């Protein structure tokens, strides 16, 4: 059935639609009602159902006779190792780990923090928690001790599962000292810690608290799956708040299974036996949804990749993995493709590999600029599908659904809303705006199954953060517009829409123009304070490798390009060439921090930053500009 029919079917009978979708899941108690609106606007789904995520991700595939199929392919260029784990092996490993956790007192509803690198054991830990009905909270491996301590105090875990270290191309990241420091800082103390000792670094265990991964499980009776209620939290995933403590996004079990199962076929066109690769990290929402849960729910093979897009060993890393493991659908962030493009602008390295099994490249995590999409499409010769979602939603709000038949592509748009999402563009007063008009993007309540029903122990914060500004809607925090055909365009975070002399302008539109310059590999536009016009745009440009022209000449051409394509209204007069942009470990550009540096305000080192030294470089680059007038 084509997209338009599917979307209309959902609109006509939302409850019936999601009850039908729930038929793809094995239930202990089947749902007979989809939506629970008893506490509206705090909606829940499938609350009367009973089931278990681990059963649906592992056991049922083994029972169906597919135990010998690969469940996980671990490919680790940083350690030079690769290995395959079948569904039967993974089921046995997970049930044994769950048995060991149960023996130490972990039961349904307990929280377990997971602090691990990209190794299969990270997925085993997540699935073992799901098997017992314990609620996991994965914290990105190598996160600072203070940030880990904040999360320990917020979710009060009974146990923490960690690795001795993580491995980067040029260094070993010492996890255990960070974990020890975090526990010392935290008011809450876990009952015990399970430590996976890696051969690259064997950590010192704290007697009476720490147990080694393998000895902990030796001789333990495997645990069976524990059925849980539909609204039982599968996990808590912390997302950075703009102020104060991070927000613990809660993911409900039943809706999580139903929604992710639906997306694997409808959006990614992936079924049992297919190989799917999301090049992300288990610490982020993409890793939860599309490295761990969704591929395994669908009976596919998922790739756990411990490496980088470039540098392990070079810009061919992605193409090697895709060719070697016969990947059908590949999902990564635009920033990763831009890194590859910067090192290999002519795409020569792709030609060394057989990529004939690849049917599509999916991009998400930040705006995918047209130049990057066109570059990837031209060299890969497959559809490049931008789609838009958030940690809070857990899967795509808008996409071009490959499995339902691709719609006409509009480069620069993540295409159209998926069933369950009634997306509106609103003005400041909460009124819908005309097509083509920039506004705040909001989603009419209720949100669909699998999205956040709230924040962990923070109902009022949930209401204030997402529901108060536009009553009856979920506020996404993104700005954009919808065109006459219903295609959505995400132009910036709401905070990144700048006001220049009374004109609301999208920094994303300017970045699109700058990225089209032949010498620009990556860019960011920020709004700096201006005493006359309120704000003024400033561009930061990273150039392709091998460009040896005068940077001032490139800047002049970029300024002229924006003036030509957007017009004098943009007031785009200044740009600076930098070696790299400050980013989070998930690849998002830290625009808000750069604005504070440019405006001379106090700023705090972001906990999620990939390399703190970059901010010193940015500070030096901005000092070379005349921003005195911009600061008033």
Q: In CATH, which of 3.20.20.70, 3.30.300.30, 1.10.510.10, 3.40.50.2000 is domain 504-623?
A: 3.30.300.30
Q: Distance (Å, rounded) from C-alpha 355 to C-alpha 205?
A: 45
What residue spans in the chain does CATH classification 3.40.50.980 cover?
A: 85-226
pLDDT for position 629: 36
**76 Rama class: left (phi>0) / alpha (psi -120 to 50) / beta:** beta
What gap in Å lies between CA 483 and CA 435, rounded to an integer? 5
Q: What share of the chain is helix, strand, coil (3-state, %, to 5)?
A: 35, 25, 40
Q: Is the peptide bond before 313 cis (omega within 30 degrees of 0)?
A: yes
Considering the chain, tell me which residue range(s) the CATH 3.30.300.30 domain(s) occupy.
504-623
Nearest to 615 by CA among 588, 592, 597: 597
Q: Is 528 helix (H, G, I), strand (E, B) or coil?
A: strand
> Cα separation of 417 and 423, whole Å?
7
Q: Are residues 272 and 298 in contact, defined by beta-carbon separation less than 8 angstroms?
A: yes
Whole-number pLDDT of residue 627? 66
Beta strands in 223-344 (DSSP E): 228-229, 233-239, 247-252, 275-278, 301-305, 329-332
**Residue 632 confidence (pLDDT):** 33
Q: What is the pLDDT of residues 257-298, one digit of tens each?
A: 999 999 999 999 999 999 999 999 999 999 999 999 999 999
Mark 516-550 as b/e (b = at least 16 C-beta within 10 Å).
Answer: bbebbbbbbbbbbbbeeeebbbbbbbbbbeeeeee
User: What is the pLDDT at residue 501?
Assistant: 65
Segments of the chain scoring below 50 in pLDDT: 242-243, 628-632
20 vs 23, 254, 257, CA distance in Å? Answer: 5, 13, 13
**Is the pTM above the cut of 0.85?**
yes
User: Is there a cis peptide before residue 446, judged by omega within 30 degrees of 0?
Assistant: yes
What is the residue whose two structure tokens read 């708040």?
A: 241
Q: Class assignment of domain 85-226?
A: alpha beta
CA angle (149 as vertex; 145, 154 as ends), nearest 5: 155
């Amino acid at each position: 059935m084509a997209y338009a029919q599917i979307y209309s079917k959902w609109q006509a009978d939302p409850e019936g639609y999601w009850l039908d979708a729930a038929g793809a899941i094995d239930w202990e108690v089947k749902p007979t009602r989809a939506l629970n609106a008893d506490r509206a606007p705090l909606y829940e789904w499938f609350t009367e159902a009973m089931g278990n995520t681990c059963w649906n991700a592992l056991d049922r595939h083994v029972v169906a006779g597919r135990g010998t199929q690969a469940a996980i392919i671990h490919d680790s260029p940083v350690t030079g190792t690769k290995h395959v784990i079948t569904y039967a092996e993974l089921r046995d490993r997970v049930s044994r780990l769950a048995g060991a956790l149960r023996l130490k007192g972990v039961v349904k509803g307990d929280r377990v923090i997971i602090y691990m690198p990209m190794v299969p054991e990270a997925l085993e830990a997540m699935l073992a928690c799901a098997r017992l009905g314990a609620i996991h909270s994965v914290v990105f491996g190598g996160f600072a001790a203070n940030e880990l301590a904040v999360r320990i105090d917020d979710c009060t875990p009974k146990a923490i599962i960690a690795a001795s270290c993580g491995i980067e191309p040029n260094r070993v990241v010492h996890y255990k000292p960070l974990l020890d420091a975090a526990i010392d800082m935290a008011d809450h103390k876990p009952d015990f810690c399970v430590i996976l000792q890696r051969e690259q670094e064997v950590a010192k265990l704290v007697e009476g608290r720490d147990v080694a991964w393998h000895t902990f499980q030796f001789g333990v009776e495997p645990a069976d799956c524990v059925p849980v209620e539909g609204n039982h939290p599968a996990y808590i995933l912390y997302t950075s708040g703009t102020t104060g403590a991070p927000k613990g996004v809660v993911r409900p079990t039943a809706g999580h299974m139903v929604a992710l199962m639906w997306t694997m076929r409808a959006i990614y066109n992936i079924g049992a036996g297919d190989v799917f690769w999301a090049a992300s990290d288990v610490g982020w929402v993409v890793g939860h949804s599309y490295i761990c849960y969704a591929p395994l729910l669908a009976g596919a093979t998922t790739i756990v990749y411990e490496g980088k897009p470039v540098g392990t060993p070079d810009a061919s890393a992605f193409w090697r993995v895709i060719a070697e493991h016969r990947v059908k659908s590949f999902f990564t962030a635009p920033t990763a493709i831009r890194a590859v493009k910067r090192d290999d602008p002519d795409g020569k390295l792709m030609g060394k590999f057989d990529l004939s099994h690849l049917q599509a490249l999916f991009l998400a995590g930040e705006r995918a600029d047209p130049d990057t999409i066109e570059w990837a499409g031209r060299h890969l010769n497959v559809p490049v599908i931008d789609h838009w979602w958030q940690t809070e939603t857990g899967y795509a709000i808008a996409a071009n659904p490959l499995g339902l038949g691709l719609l006409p592509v509009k480069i620069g748009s993540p295409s159209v809303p998926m069933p369950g999402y009634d997306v509106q563009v609103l003005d400041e007063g909460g009124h819908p705006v005309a097509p083509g008009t920039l506004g705040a993007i909001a989603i009419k309540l209720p949100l669909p199954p699998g999205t956040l029903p709230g924040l962990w122990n923070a109902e009022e914060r949930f209401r204030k953060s997402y529901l108060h500004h536009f009553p009856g809607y979920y506020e996404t925090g993104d700005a954009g517009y919808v065109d006459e055909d219903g295609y959505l365009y995400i132009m910036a975070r709401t905070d990144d829409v700048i006001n220049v002399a009374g004109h609301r302008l999208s920094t994303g539109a300017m970045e699109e123009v700058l990225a089209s310059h032949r010498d620009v590999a990556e860019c960011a536009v920020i709004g700096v304070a201006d005493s006359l016009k309120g704000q003024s745009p400033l561009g930061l440009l990273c150039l392709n490798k091998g460009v040896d022209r005068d940077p001032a000449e490139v800047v002049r051409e970029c300024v002229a390009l924006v003036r030509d394509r957007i017009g004098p209204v943009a007031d785009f007069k200044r740009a600076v060439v930098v070696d790299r942009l400050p980013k989070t470990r998930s690849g998002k550009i830290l625009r808000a921090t750069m604005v504070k540096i440019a405006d001379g305000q106090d700023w705090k080192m972001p906990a999620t930053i990939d390399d703190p030294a970059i901010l010193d470089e940015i500070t030096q680059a901005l000092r070379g500009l005349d921003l005195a007038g911009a600061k008033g």
